[in-house]
A = this chain, B = another copy of it.
């Protein structure tokens, strides 16, 4: 997925381990933030650090792989939303669902950040795709008269970026679950008046 996977089929155990590593990384980073050690990820996956490095040349690459997975997921979700009949409801539901999914996730923001500047071609492509799809969705909502006319896909990105920060509860902001308020207010800000 990241470096070479189409070349040789990968031995059965290797494929299994790769998956375990990815899963463990998602979990550990979500719980302890992106600064969690590789050692910790390895322990959680039940493998040695060496195994991680066999699959991902560097910590950054591992994070990049997570980012790609995440983006893929987002694109899929957004595409579904585009084909709903009521674009505004679909849009709103999409945001709530996406946020809910990452409740208390300490890493999403940083992972997404990596993806942006990491220069991973795959991540770039997915970004472009996400940008386009969400643009379409928002365009439909605007046409419907429910979303403010000047809203763009880029705005959405910016707002989601803030959401990620807010969701890393504990680190930046105090008080539990303020992100629901965040989303409420932001969504109202995107509504047509």
CB–CB B181/A172 < 8 A: no
Main secondary structure of the interface of A (DSSP, over half): helix
Across the interface, A175 reaches (CB within 8 A) one of B154, B175, B193, namely B154
In the complex, A98 has a CB within 8 A of chain B: no
CB–CB B178/A109 < 8 A: no
> Mask for A110-129, Cβ within 8 A of B = 1, else 0?
10110011000000000000
Across the interface, A186 reaches (CB within 8 A) one of B116, B174, B185, namely B185
A sample of 16 cross-chain residue pairs with beta-carbon separation below 8 angstroms, ordered by A number, consists of: A113-B171, A116-B173, A148-B185, A155-B181, A158-B173, A158-B175, A158-B182, A161-B165, A162-B165, A164-B165, A165-B172, A184-B189, A185-B189, A186-B186, A186-B189, A189-B190
Cα–Cα, bound, A154→B174 (Å):
9
In the complex, A50 has a CB within 8 A of chain B: no
Cα–Cα, bound, A171→B184 (Å):
26
Interface residues in chain A, defined as those with a beta carbon under 8 Å from any beta carbon in chain B: 109-110, 112-113, 116-117, 148, 151, 154-155, 157-159, 161-166, 170-175, 178-179, 181-182, 184-190, 193
Number of copies: 2
CB–CB A154/B178 < 8 A: yes
CB–CB B164/A172 < 8 A: yes
CB–CB A161/B155 < 8 A: no
Across the interface, A166 reaches (CB within 8 A) one of B158, B172, B182, namely B158
Across the interface, A162 reaches (CB within 8 A) one of B155, B162, B170, namely B162
CB–CB A154/B181 < 8 A: yes
Cα–Cα, bound, A178→B153 (Å):
12
Across the interface, A189 reaches (CB within 8 A) one of B157, B173, B179, B187, namely B187
CB–CB B109/A174 < 8 A: no
Nearest chain B CB to A156 CB, angstrom units: 10
